[in-house]
Structure 1
Amino acid sequence: MKIARLGDIGLHYRVDGDPDGAPVVFANSLGTDLRLWDQILPLLPQGLKFIRYDKRGHGLSTCPPAPYSMGALVTDAERLLDQLGVRDCVFVGLSIGGMIAQGLATKRLDLVRAIVLSNTGAKIGTKDMWQDRIGAVRAGGIEALADPILERWFSTGFRETDEFLAWRHMLLRQPVEGYIGCCQAIAGTDFYTPTAALTLPALGIAGSVDGSTPPDLVRETIGLIKGSDFRLIQGAGHLPCVEKPEEYAAILTEFLTAQGHV
């Protein structure tokens, strides 16, 4: 287990694949840790360097008191990549990770040569919606909202599998303060203008039954970037890399290859 000390924050990260390969960086969703990507990494091309990390308040990273800002989450990613000597990566972000991808690409094009915006938006929900969720979590813990959250994350069929229980446990063991802090970061973010100014290769991925970031939101967001592509994974919810890892990996491999990153 590796920790990058970034000022007052320690970020847990992991490097897999070829240490000398072209870097692909993964940022996970709200309420999950870097294990989100476990199933797709073995399905991606050999010779790449895969970097995953737990954002602040998640996994084994430091969990400072809320609130968090999106700027702080973007700066955490920036400092991690600078410390690891990463340049010209393909940055794959899912949900809040996709927001971090948009912010990082806007701020540091020397770090990012292409982005994958998976199950995300330039703006997700409303401030009132996020405040209601924060209030409910403060009152009753994450368990009070676990069932409706998981219904948005996964299709009906997947929720009947044994594997689903592990994801439920991951959500319930998420630090409340980290969850609330990241909810506040999402609530305060509107990237429509900066994302529309991006000029790098970009791919959007959506799940057809995603209840958190519906396909139309992902399509609208990726459509802000000229020359971008959009792919829909049928029958998948908010975490298609978990429900449909083979299809997700195939789409990602196609994009990496098209960018000459493989």
Structure 2
Amino acid sequence: MTMTTIRGEPFHVQVDGDAGAPALLLSNSLGTNLSMWDPQVAEWTRHFRVVRYDSRGHGRSTAPDTPYSIAMLADDALAILDALGIGKAHWCGLSKGGMVGQWLATHHGGRFDKVVLANTGAYMGPPENWETRLRNVRENGMAVMVQPTLERWFSPAFRERDTATIARVSEMLATTPPLGYANCCAAIRDMDQRGTIQAIRNPVLVIIGKVDPATPPEAGHFIADTVPGAQRVELDAAHLSNLEQPAAFTKAVLDFLKS
């Protein structure tokens, strides 16, 4: 676990794997932190230098109460690569991390090789829904978000079957800085990449949860249909598919990156 100063702000960054291996940068979802990738790291570090970080507003990273944007979150990722001396990397982002990945592939595609966009969308309207959510968090803290979020993120059967994972994710949600969460909600509220992602030229894999109510399958299909040459994989999972179907998710990403 390493705290790194990025453009004058603290970020929690963790690097695993051979320093000489190709880099793979992972970006967490809204309301989680870099530990959401724990089930994947052991396998992926056999092939890649895996870089994880707590996104702005999350975990132990900076969480100022200032306006955020998807472009700002993308700039954070680029600055982390720069700080580590990494010129080019693969990308894997889930939900909010996938939104950041779309921006990066659209505007900074030369910094990345292959791009995985998991359980995500190019537009997450209507804006009023996000405004209601961020106001709720600002007024009442993260406790009000935990149970409804878990119900969106995991299928009922998984919530009953894997209580340990549910407990870990519940803790991540509960300890996310409320102001950081709210400002990330605002960034998602203001995002619309539907008209720009057709410019992406990186190889892209879109991972879709078949029973995902947060970013429904049609959101993933839109991205896969819009990005030229994009591949898609559908998993029997809800929103956090890397946790609900860890083996299938790990293999799908590895097969794509190694192909």
Match of 1:242 in 2: 243
Alignment: residue pair count? 257
Q: Which amino acid is 1:159 matched to?
A: R
Deviation digits for residues 89-132 of structure 1 (CA, Å, limit 9, x no counterpart): 11001011011111112222231112101000111232111001
Give unpaired runs (5+ residues) of structure 2: none
Could you tell me how far 1:140 is from its partner in structure 2?
2.1
Alpha carbons 1:94, 1:117 under 8 Å: kept: yes
Could you tell me how far 1:218 is from its partner in structure 2?
0.9
Could you tell me how far 1:215 is from its partner in structure 2?
1.1
Give unpaired runs (5+ residues) of structure 1: none
Deviation digits for residues 172-224 of structure 1 (CA, Å, limit 9, x no counterpart): 11110010010001011111122111111000001111111011101111221
Could you tell me how far 1:45 is from its partner in structure 2?
6.4
Match of 2:167 in 1: 165
Q: Which amino acid is 1:206 matched to?
A: I
Could you tell me how far 1:27 is from its partner in structure 2?
0.3
3-state DSSP of counterpart to 2:51? strand
* Residue 197 (structure 1) aligned to one of 199, 209, 214: 199
Alpha carbons 2:16, 2:45 under 8 Å: kept: no
Alpha carbons 1:117, 1:222 under 8 Å: kept: no
User: Alignment identity in percent?
Assistant: 37
Deviation digits for residues 132-179 of structure 1 (CA, Å, limit 9, x no counterpart): 111222232222232221111111122123211121121111110010
Match of 1:212 in 2: 214
Could you tell me how far 1:88 is from its partner in structure 2?
2.7
Match of 2:230 in 1: 228
3-state DSSP of counterpart to 1:39? helix
Alpha carbons 2:208, 2:217 under 8 Å: kept: yes
Alpha carbons 1:67, 1:180 under 8 Å: kept: no
Quickly say closer, same or farther: Cα 1:6–1:45, change in 2 above 3 A.
closer
Please tell me whether residue 62 in structure 1 is matched to residue 56 in structure 2.
no
Structure-1 separation of matches of 2:244 and 2:9: 32
Deviation digits for residues 204-253 of structure 1 (CA, Å, limit 9, x no counterpart): 0011111110111011112211111111001x111111111100011011
Structure-2 separation of matches of 1:45 and 1:55: 21
* Residue 174 (structure 1) aligned to one of 173, 176, 185: 176
Structure-2 separation of matches of 1:5 and 1:145: 30
Could you tell me how far 1:56 is from its partner in structure 2?
0.9
Structure-2 separation of matches of 1:177 and 1:45: 33
Alpha carbons 1:2, 1:13 under 8 Å: kept: yes
Instruction: Return the TM-score normalized by structure 1.
Output: 0.94
Between stretches 27-36 and 216-225, larger displacement belongs to 216-225
Q: What is the correspondence of 1:6-155 to structure 2 with a 5 Å cutoff? A: 6-44=6-44, 46-155=46-155
3-state DSSP of counterpart to 2:208? strand
Q: Which amino acid is 1:135 matched to?
A: R
Q: Which amino acid is 2:37 matched to?
A: W
Structure-2 separation of matches of 1:239 and 1:39: 12
Deviation digits for residues 35-83 of structure 1 (CA, Å, limit 9, x no counterpart): 0110012233623110111111111111111321112111111111111
Could you tell me how far 1:3 is from its partner in structure 2?
2.3
Q: Which amino acid is 1:185 matched to?
A: A
